[in-house]
Amino acid sequence: MEAAAAIVVIGNEILSAKVQDSNSPWLIAELRSVGMPVARVHTIPDDVAIIAATVREAAAQFEQVITCGGVGPTLDDVTLEGIALALGVALVVDPKLEAAIRAHYGAATLPSHLKMALVPQGSQLTDPPGAIWPVLDVRNVLVLPGDPSILRRKFSSVKQRFERRRVTLHKVHLVCDEGLVAPHLDVVHAEYPGVQLGSYPSYDGRVVRVMVTFEALDAALTAACVRRFLELADPATVVGTDFSEL
C-alpha cells in the first residue's frame, strides 16, 4: 500500500460545471503542509457503482482515501451507499448520528434527514470541537461533505492524524526558454535520482519565466542537487531562489 492519499470528489455538479471544485485544491495544500503526499484526485459522478469501484481501488492502493460530497439528504447523495458497496458492508443506522440529527432538527425532523444517519457498518465517528456533525471514517476512508466551509472545519479537526515527515522544497526562478533548462535537469536527475524535479514555464507576453523545483525528504540531498543545477545554469538567467519545508 502506497504511503499517500487519494482524494475522490463526488458530484454531478462538478462534472457539469454547475459548481467549481474548491475542495480538492484546498485538501492537497493542507495535506502537503503536514507531509502527506496526494497521489490521485478522482472526480466522479453521483453513481453508486462508479463510487464503489473508485473507492475500492483507491482504498486498496493508498494509505488514505478522502471523499468529498454526496452525504446529504437528497436522492443524489449516494456516497455512503457507494462506500459500503466498495467495502462489502451494509448500510446501518448509527444511533449516535440519529440522535444528533433529531436534536438538531427537533420536531421538524423528516425521513430525508434521517437518511443521513445511515452509515457503512463499522464506521467510526469522531466529534470535532464545536461541530454539530461528527467526522466519519470507514476503515481507511475519511468521508467529508461537499460544502467547503463544513469540509474545512471537519478536516481541520483531524488534520494532525496525517502528520508525516515534511518534504524539503527548493525553487529556482529563471528567465529563459525552458529548452535551455532541460539539459541541466537531465544531468542533475542522473546524479541525484532521489530528488523529484519539476519545470514550470510561464509567459506574460514579454518574457518566458521558468520555475524549477527540487523536492526530497533529505534536506541535504535537495540542497546539493540545487547547487549542482546552479553550477550548470547560466547565472544571467537565474533571478531568484527560495526554500521551504512542506
pLDDT truncated to tens, each residue of the chain (246 aa)?
A: 899 999 999 999 999 999 999 999 999 999 999 999 999 999 999 999 999 999 999 999 999 999 999 999 999 999 999 999 999 999 999 998 999 899 989 999 999 999 999 999 999 999 877 667 899 999 999 999 999 999 999 999 999 999 998 899 999 999 999 999 999 999 999 999 999 999 999 998 899 999 999 999 999 999 999 999 999 999 999 999 998 765
What is the spatial distance between Cα 56 and Cα 105, in angstroms, rounded to a whole number? 34
Q: What are 136's strand-pairing partners?
A: 125, 143
What is the residue extent of each domain of the chain? 2-162, 168-245
Would you give the end-to-end CA distance of the chain in angstroms?
23
Give the distance, in angstroms, between the CA of residue 246 and the centroid of all CA atoms in the same chain: 15
Q: Are 67 and 120 in contact (CB under 8 A)?
A: no
Q: Which CATH superfamily, name and number, covers 168-245?
A: Ribosomal protein S10 (3.30.70.600)
Half-sphere exposure of 31 (CA within 13 A, CB side): 21
pTM summary value: 0.89
Q: Are 113 and 133 in contact (CB under 8 A)?
A: no
DSSP string across 127-163: --TT-SS-EEEETTEEEE-S-HHHHHHHHHHHGGGG-
What is the spatial distance between Cα 212 and Cα 170, in angstroms, rounded to a whole number? 8
Task: Report whether CATH 3.40.50.300 matches the domain 2-162.
Answer: no
Q: Are 11 and 19 in contact (CB under 8 A)?
A: yes
Phi and psi for 217 in degrees, rounded to 5?
Answer: -70, -30
Report pLDDT for 235.
Answer: 95
Give the Cβ contact number of residue 76 at 10 Å.
15
Contacts 24+ apart (CB under 8 A), 105-112: 110/73, 112/73, 112/74
Give the Cβ contact number of residue 79 at 10 Å.
27
What is the spatial distance between Cα 54 and Cα 140, in angstroms, rounded to a whole number? 14
What is the spatial distance between Cα 121 and Cα 93, in angstroms, rounded to a whole number? 9
